[in-house]
Amino acid sequence: MALNKTRVLVLYGGRSTEHEVSCRSAAFVLRNLDPAKYDVRAIAIDKSGRWLPQDTPRLLAQLDKTVPILPGTPLRDRPALPTSAGDYDPARNLLAAVGASGSAASTAGSSAESSSELVVFPVLHGSFGEDGTLQGMLELVGAAFVGPDTLGSAIGMDKVVAKRLAAAAGVPVVPWVDARLNQWRKDSAAITSRALRELGLPIFVKPARLGSSVGVSKVKSAGELARACDSAFEFDDKILIEKGLEVREIECAVLGDYEPRVSVPGEVIPRGDFYTYEKKYLDADGAGMGIPADLTAEQTRTAQEMSRKVFMGLELYGMARVDLFLERGNGQFWFNEVNTLPGMTEISQYPLLWKESGVPAATLLDELVDLALRRKRAKDALKRSI
């Protein structure tokens, strides 16, 4: 391996409900990382949580719209006592993964490999990949990684916390009511009554800490609300009940450090009541894409500035897709949610928005890798003792 090649370790799959989406996004990342610049390696995480090092050349040869998970021997570094998840300890697996990639911390590998920089590229949407859990392990072992840090990832994943911080940053947010499972079990009638009184109909019910429209219901009558809440509680123990508005769905891609750039806005035009998981990722005809969105110059500036405020107010870094609503009746913009590891499938908005903004896929990935390395160097320069 050439000394000047940065090693990029792509993690994909995962234990979340968005496992299949991750495999599609990983195909995009693996296809567009420049082999002249990067020594690319991959580890798949299957649905049971096993970390499976992949035969990367063989994997690259099999890329299509998705990337397979090739069978192999999992990383098994067992803790002294078995964990509740079984034999697989994620933190030790991560250390083994970094070591297997030739980390300077590893005694294995050639000196050429040890002198190269390593960046972990987590292409893991949803729980256990986008919510700060993985980012915490990466920070613990001192790895450079793509995307927001532990705090920003956790904030971005929690729609309730994200809304509160966005509002504190001066960004309008859609009115909502949130509830915990224990509250729901004690007095579900009080929660539904409050939601109907404060929000009216229609309303949307969502798990607070999932993405990709998983577990989301549109409620058009009072009788449907309790069932929708029960459905959302199957995926999370905190839910969000949000006012339904007549809106256009506007999205901006954000890229950078603490002074980020914002792409041209795009518009999602779902064919149906709302942008479901299937329409978003599995059905190429599930929605129309308007890139750039048909907005006035003033509306474009407003969407971009709101997205920048959200990115900075939520302590994000590297990348995010900010989803906004543009109310049809009065032209009011509202913050909806943020995705800190947005989809990168062949029909995903994040890379398409940057392509329209003059940043092709390979350049986009170059910038994300560079941002990861810059953050690590800045953190490494901090004092750790006095």
Q: What is the DSSP string of 241-279?
A: EEE---EEEEEEEEEESSS-EE---EEEEESSSS--HII
pTM score: 0.86
- Please determine whether the domains at 6-145 and 157-172+246-372 fall in the same fold group of CATH: no
Rounded to whole angstroms, the Cα distance separating 329 from 111 reads 64
pLDDT at 272: 61
Work out whether the CA dihedral 34, 36, 39, 41 comes out positive or negative.
positive
pLDDT per residue over 256-274, tens digit each?
998 999 999 999 987 766 5
Query: Does a cis peptide bond (omega within 30 degrees of 0) precede residue 292?
Result: yes
User: What residue segments make up the domains of the chain, in order of their start?
Assistant: 6-145, 157-172+246-372, 176-243
Q: Which two tokens stand for residue 163?
A: 């809304």
- The CATH number of the structural domain formed by 157-172+246-372 is 3.30.470.20
> Average pLDDT by consecutive 10-residue portion of the chain (386 residues)?
80 90 95 95 91 90 88 59 47 54 35 65 92 93 94 96 97 96 97 97 93 83 96 95 96 96 94 55 64 97 98 98 96 96 90 97 97 96 90
Q: What is the DSSP letter of 147?
A: S
Per the CB < 8 A criterion, the answer to whether 94 and 137 are in contact is: yes
- The CATH number of the structural domain formed by 176-243 is 3.30.1490.20
pLDDT per residue over 65-84, tens digit each?
889 888 877 765 434 334 44
Which top CATH class is 6-145?
Answer: alpha beta
- Of 37, 33, 39, give the one whose Cα is nearest residue 63: 33
Q: Which two tokens stand for residue 119?
A: 């960046």
